[in-house]
């Protein structure tokens, strides 16, 4: 992901990629060469101490997100954070407190919000009654770092934050309650929840369901499928969110985008917010909300009880 973001940034005027950091020195050097950086380092502190650095991109494994974000905030560097914000609520709050205390600009990378199909569905149904969100991956390899309970947290914590964020974005009202069933099905012996089905209640009384996991056979089970209805109109997003079908009760309108979007657009928004000193459209609070929903879904599975959401 560091490479993808660097590619987006290198296409933008007035942005210089200065320091490339990875604990794996070869990877840092390779990116530095590729993007004509000033130096490569294995020490994040070197970049954080560097007065020539205005902002940092955190594209590391999930167990390092909060530590790096807090250090960046303390060093007054603005942050683009790859999802998820962190793996625990304590870490999420610690990041949020550091961001607010030091007044940095912080954006969470929920690129799915930028798909044109998402904007079309939101414009067509601004106040959905029922929202359905599904992200089903094919089974993740056991040795994938994101499946490691400590480094990655498994599919639900890694990917489910995208799904939770998009469902909340499509719904528009704050989530107030979550219930879930699920557990460990596809990776026995690994201490993670790998497949869940959750229901969410929103402050305005509307509802959503979320299916997340790695029990699918994509594309025969849709990796991404989001549906909204307000009782009169319906929208269905599928085909990796490139296709959206809108139905107003009489007419069907289907749009198919040629490609997926998100990375260039979120980078443009981040840089714009730095230049204009305005808050980015997706902040640490959005990152916290998505992880809060997942951790409370886990708690609902453990206790068998719906969980009220407060933060």
Ligand X SMILES: NC(=O)c1ccc[n+]([C@@H]2O[C@H](COP(=O)([O-])OP(=O)(O)OC[C@H]3O[C@@H](n4cnc5c(N)ncnc54)[C@H](O)[C@@H]3O)[C@@H](O)[C@H]2O)c1
For residue 24, the minimal CB distance to ligand X (Å) is 4
* Nearer to ligand X (CB atom), residue 4 or residue 190: 4
Residue 113's DSSP bridge partners are: none
Size of the site for ligand X (CB under 6 A): 18
For residue 43, the minimal CB distance to ligand X (Å) is 8
Which pairing describes strands 252-256 and 243-247: parallel, antiparallel, or unpaired? antiparallel
Reading the block at residue 29, the tokens are 């050097």
CB 244 within 8 A of CB 255: yes
The 191-220 site mask, x for binding ligand X (CB under 6 A), equals ------------------------------
* Nearer to ligand X (CB atom), residue 241 or residue 246: 241
Please enumerate in sequence order all residues whose Cβ is within 8 A of that of 228, keeping only pairs 6 or more positions apart, or say none: 121, 125, 128, 130, 131, 132, 170, 234, 235
Site for ligand X, residues 41 to 100, rule: CB under 6 A: 44, 59-62, 64, 82-83
Name which position in 7, 10, 16, 27 contacts ligand X (CB under 6 A).
27
For residue 199, the minimal CB distance to ligand X (Å) is 25
Fill in the DSSP letter of residue 262: -
* Nearer to ligand X (CB atom), residue 86 or residue 125: 86
Name which position in 9, 17, 22, 234 contacts ligand X (CB under 6 A).
22
Q: Which of 163, 215, 210, 158 is nearest to 185 (CA)?
A: 215
Candidates 22-30, 181-189, 283-291, 297-305: pick the segment binding ligand X (CB under 6 A). Answer: 22-30
The 102-121 site mask, x for binding ligand X (CB under 6 A), equals -------x-x----------
Reading the block at residue 279, the tokens are 């808050």
Sign (positive or negative) of CA dihedral 155, 156, 161, 164: positive
Site for ligand X, residues 140 to 179, rule: CB under 6 A: 145, 158
Contact call for residue 1 and ligand X (CB under 6 A): yes
For residue 196, the minimal CB distance to ligand X (Å) is 18
Kind and range of the H or E run holding 99: helix 89-102
Contact call for residue 131 and ligand X (CB under 6 A): no
For residue 44, the minimal CB distance to ligand X (Å) is 5
Max Cα separation, the chain?
61
CA 235 to chain centroid: 22
* Nearer to ligand X (CB atom), residue 1 or residue 11: 1
* Nearer to ligand X (CB atom), residue 96 or residue 201: 96
* Nearer to ligand X (CB atom), residue 83 or residue 122: 83
Q: Which of 196, 168, 56 is nearest to 112 (CA)?
A: 168
Q: Could you give the C-alpha distances from 255 to 61, 127, 182, 235, in angstroms and in order?
A: 35, 21, 34, 11
What is the C-alpha to C-alpha distance for residues 70 and 173, in angstroms, rounded to an integer?
29
What is the C-alpha to C-alpha distance for residues 203 and 172, in angstroms, rounded to an integer?
10
* Nearer to ligand X (CB atom), residue 111 or residue 240: 111
Contact call for residue 21 and ligand X (CB under 6 A): yes
For residue 171, the minimal CB distance to ligand X (Å) is 21
What is the C-alpha to C-alpha distance for residues 131 and 209, in angstroms, rounded to an integer?
7
Binding site for ligand X (CB under 6 A): 1, 21-24, 27, 44, 59-62, 64, 82-83, 109, 111, 145, 158
């Amino acid at each position: 992901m560091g490479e993808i973001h660097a590619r987006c940034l290198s296409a933008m005027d007035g942005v210089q990629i200065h320091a490339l950091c990875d604990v794996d020195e070869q990877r840092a050097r390779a990116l530095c060469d590729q993007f004509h950086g000033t130096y490569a380092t294995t020490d994040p502190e070197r970049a954080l101490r560097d007065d020539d650095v205005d902002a940092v991109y955190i594209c590391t494994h999930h167990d390092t997100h909060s530590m790096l974000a807090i250090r960046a905030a303390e060093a007054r560097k603005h942050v683009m954070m790859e999802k998820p914000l962190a793996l625990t609520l304590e870490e999420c709050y610690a990041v949020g407190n550091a961001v607010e205390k030091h007044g940095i600009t912080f954006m969470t990378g929920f690129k799915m919000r930028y798909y044109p199909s998402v904007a079309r569905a939101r414009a067509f149904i601004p106040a959905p009654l029922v929202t359905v969100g599904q992200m089903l991956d094919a089974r993740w390899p056991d040795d994938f770092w994101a499946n490691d309970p400590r480094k990655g947290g498994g599919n639900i914590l890694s990917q489910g934050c995208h799904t939770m964020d998009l469902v909340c974005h499509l719904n528009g009202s704050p989530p107030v309650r979550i219930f879930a069933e699920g557990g460990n099905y596809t990776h026995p012996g690994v201490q993670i929840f790998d497949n869940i089905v959750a229901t969410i209640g929103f402050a305005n009384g509307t509802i959503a369901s979320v299916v997340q996991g790695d029990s699918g056979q994509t594309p025969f089970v849709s990796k991404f499928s989001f549906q909204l209805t307000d009782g009169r109109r319906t929208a269905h997003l599928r085909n990796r969110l490139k296709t959206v079908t809108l139905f107003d009760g009489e007419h069907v309108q289907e749009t198919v985008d040629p490609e997926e979007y998100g990375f260039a657009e979120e980078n443009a928004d981040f840089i714009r917010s730095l230049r204009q000193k305005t808050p980015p459209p997706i902040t640490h609070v959005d990152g916290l909300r998505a992880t809060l929903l997942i951790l409370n879904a886990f708690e609902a599975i453990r206790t068998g009880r719906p969980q009220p959401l407060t933060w």
